[in-house]
Chain A
Amino acid sequence: MYGAALQHIKPGDWLTLLLSSLFVVALTLTLWSGDLADKAIIRSGGKIFREVPLSPDQQIEVPGPLGISIISIQQRKARIASDPSPRQYCVRQGWLQQAGEIALCLPNQVSVELAGSKKKYDSLNY
């Protein structure tokens, strides 16, 4: 049965199949490879509190108007481990790994943003 199906594929069709597969793989690799982050930019009240590299695992305590937010960095990922803000959106956001990802805690005004080698736009107006 498979043999019967295969006899309909001509040599050029194999070439098409091969090239198309390569094309799809290339597309996937280019479009799905997010820029890995190098450092975390921690802000408090809109000002940069600290910029830390992602390599040594550590916990950082950031003071805000409501209290202290704890940012933890582990295995080249970052997250907000605890925060006094009522809704806990930033804590629930979990681990950030790719450049451009941001967790923002309101109303404690603490944020952590991951940055890679090149800065990407997060919004454009024209």
Chain B
Amino acid sequence: MTASIIKLSTTAEDHHIARMAAVALGLTILENAIPSPLPGVKPGLANIVTLIVLARYGWRTAAWVSLLRVVAGSLLFGNFLTPGFFLSLSGAVLSLIVLAFARHLPARWFGPVSHSIYAAFAHITGQMLVVYLWLIPHAGIAYLIPIFATAALVFGAVNGLIAARFMDDKTIYPQITQIHTD
């Protein structure tokens, strides 16, 4: 049997996206260790990475990082193509759609905190849509919406602040640029 080598030609940008997605994955795994009072109420720490990537490298890169994180994360946790995977996916997709618009808000007035809050609301909207249309088609889930909305507001604001803090930090910024250029 002859050994065959499949060599994909990758660009520096591919490597960069993969690194960022790996950081997001690390945060996802970290987050899974935190116990949650209610399934679905999670801080969404990986979105900090998405926010930073969005601000630095644009929407296309952010979409790659976010979706790679969802798919690779589901493979790691063994829930690829299960309801949990589709919940993550719908949340991520709706967040990205909202971020595509939110990032055009005037930067003088709106920062990562606003982006993060809008994305968090979009995330929970996407998840509730999947839950309602597919998993639990019962109006009773409306009782849970205030809890999820409150969590989205709080965690969205906190994640936005963390992202803004990281982007401001002059000691971290050079490292990010270095990753980008190497």
Contacts and interface: CB of A to CB of B under 8 A. Distances in A.
Interface of A: 4-5, 8-13, 15-17, 20-21, 23-24, 27-28, 31-32
Contacts of B53: none
B153 A24 contact: yes
Main SS of chain A's interface residues? Answer: helix
A12 B106 CA distance: 9
B155 to A, nearest CB: 12
Given A13-B114, A17-B113, A24-B150, A31 B168 contact: no
B35 to A, nearest CB: 24
Given A8-B168, A10-B113, A24-B153, 16 more contacts: A9-B111, A9-B113, A9-B161, A10-B109, A12-B105, A12-B111, A13-B113, A13-B114, A16-B113, A16-B117, A21-B153, A23-B149, A24-B149, A28-B149, A28-B150, A31-B146
Interface string B112-135: 111001100100000000000000
Report, as a range, how many residues of chain B touch the other chain: 20 to 34
B121 A20 contact: yes
19 contacts: A4-B165, A5-B165, A8-B112, A8-B113, A8-B161, A8-B165, A10-B109, A10-B111, A10-B113, A12-B105, A12-B110, A13-B114, A16-B118, A17-B117, A21-B153, A27-B145, A27-B146, A28-B149, A32-B143
